[in-house]
Amino acid sequence: MKPSRDISGLIEIMAALRHPETGCPWDVQQDFSTIKPYTIEEAYEVADAIERNDPDDLCDELGDLLLQVVFHARMAEEQGLFSFEDVVEAITRKMIRRHPHVFERSGADTADKVKTQWAVIKAEEKRERAQRRIARGLPETETQGQFTGVPRALPALMEALKLQQAASLVGFDWGAAGPVLDKIEEEIAELRVELDNGETDKAAGELGDVIFALANLARHLKADPEDALRTTNTKFRRRFAHVEAGLAKLGKTPADATLAEMEALWQAAKKDD
């Protein structure tokens, strides 16, 4: 088998890997649950390549992410659930339906109108999906009410942001960033009380409240909290690398340096930023 630019080649490779007798023992053992973490990881690696503005890595990581789609589709086909072709048909149908302003020339001629139209169509799709689940005798799994469509499986920070966005649509929100900052200070004070009392379990709960409020502040600043934190993570990596380089010149490593030595190098790194 040779590399191919045709998607059918990748589908054939996955079928070969999953063959119960001649396939790869590791691939054959996998199921939806065991592959799920890899799917999430590959999506983040795509995001990382974009952050680093590395088109070569982006091409490679998109291939890894595509493999995840093919892997899940192959396992589903083996169980008689759906095939890769069904996945393609479903997404093309969805895109055509959600873009009537392109394919049917609806009146949505601005970005705001398109966004409103998109939300209405998505709500219709969710109702139809719920009806199909009921018709198949399956239990309703989606959250009902204002938070319908906010999956619990999202990364916690992203879920917090989407919950807040949904609540804001019905007016359950602060009108500006200032009151949110006050709320953060209030939550930090409550966290401090639990720490002073030695209540570590309660302190962990209060810490969650602080993080939730910080996500809300990011939303009011029109900043993605994931991106903001990732930027800080990158900055931390860069500054600590400066610390390591400085210690190396002294013939030391972080493990045998004092905190004061590392702090001095850290402050120097901050000045260089």
Tens digit of pLDDT for each residue in 224-245?
998 899 899 999 999 999 999 9
Assess if residue 16 is contained within a domain. yes
Q: Is residue 148 part of a domain?
A: no
Could you please report the per-residue DSSP string of 74-89?
Answer: HHHHHTTS--HHHHHH
CA 49 → CA 56, 58, 155, distances in Å? 8, 5, 19
Residues 10 and 69 in one domain: yes
Kindly report, residue by residue over 143-168, the tens digit of the pLDDT: 567 787 787 878 889 899 999 998 99
For residue 164, give the CATH number of its domain.
1.10.287.1080
DSSP labels, 185-230: HHHHHHHHHHHHTT-HHHHHHHHHHHHHHHHHHHHHTT--HHHHHH
Q: Is residue 147 one of the residues assigned to a domain?
A: no
The pLDDT assigned to 142 comes to 53
Rounded CA separation 185/217 (Å):
12
**How far is Cα 116 from Cα 104, in angstroms, rounded to an integer?**
17
Q: What is the distance between the alpha carbons of residues 9 and 13, in angstroms, rounded to a whole number?
A: 6
132 and 166 co-located in one domain: no
| Residue 140 scores a pLDDT above 80 | no
Report the distance separating Cα 119 and Cα 103, nearest Å.
17
Residues 109 and 88 occupy one common structural domain? no
Q: Are residues 56 and 83 in the same domain?
A: yes
Query: In this structure, is residue 188 part of a structural domain?
Result: yes
- The mean pLDDT value of the chain amounts to 91
- Residue 141 confidence (pLDDT) above 80: no
Gap between the Cα atoms of 38 and 44, Å rounded: 10
Please indicate, yes or no, whether residues 66 and 117 belong to a single structural domain of this protein.
no
Residue 149 lies in a domain: no
Residues 59, 53: contact at Cβ < 8 Å? no
At residue 2, the pLDDT reads 84
pLDDT of residue 136: 81
- The domain tally of the chain equals 4
- 107 and 94 belong to one structural domain: no
Query: Are 39 and 94 part of one and the same domain?
Result: yes
Burial 17-54 (b: 16+ CB within 10 A, else e): bbeeeeeeeebeebeeeeeeeebeebeebbeebeeeee
State the pLDDT at residue 78. Answer: 98
- Please state the pTM of the whole predicted model: 0.66
In terms of domains, do 79 and 167 share one? Answer: no
Q: Are residues 67 and 38 in the same domain?
A: yes
- CA–CA distance from 151 to each of 6, 163, 235 (Å)? 33, 10, 31
Domain edge (last residue) among 113, 142, 171: 142
State residue 77's pLDDT score: 98
The 8-class DSSP code of residue 173 comes to S
Tell me, yes or no, whether 73 lies in a domain: yes
**Residue 209 sits in which domain range?**
156-223
Residues 6+ apart with CB under 8 A from 181: 217
Instruction: Tell whether 150 is covered by a domain.
Output: no
pLDDT tens, position by position, 18-41: 999 999 999 999 999 999 999 999
Which residue, 223, 239, 257, sits at the end of a domain? 223
Question: Is residue 116 included in any domain, yes or no?
Answer: yes
Q: How far apart are CA 66 and CA 42, in angstroms?
A: 9
For residues 82 and 3, membership in a common domain is answered with yes
pLDDT in tens, 195-228: 999 999 999 999 999 999 999 999 999 999 988 9
Are 51 and 91 in a shared domain?
yes
Clarify whether residues 68 and 85 are in a common domain: yes
Among 27-36, 80-89, 126-135, 257-266, which stretch is predicted with the lowest mean pLDDT? 126-135
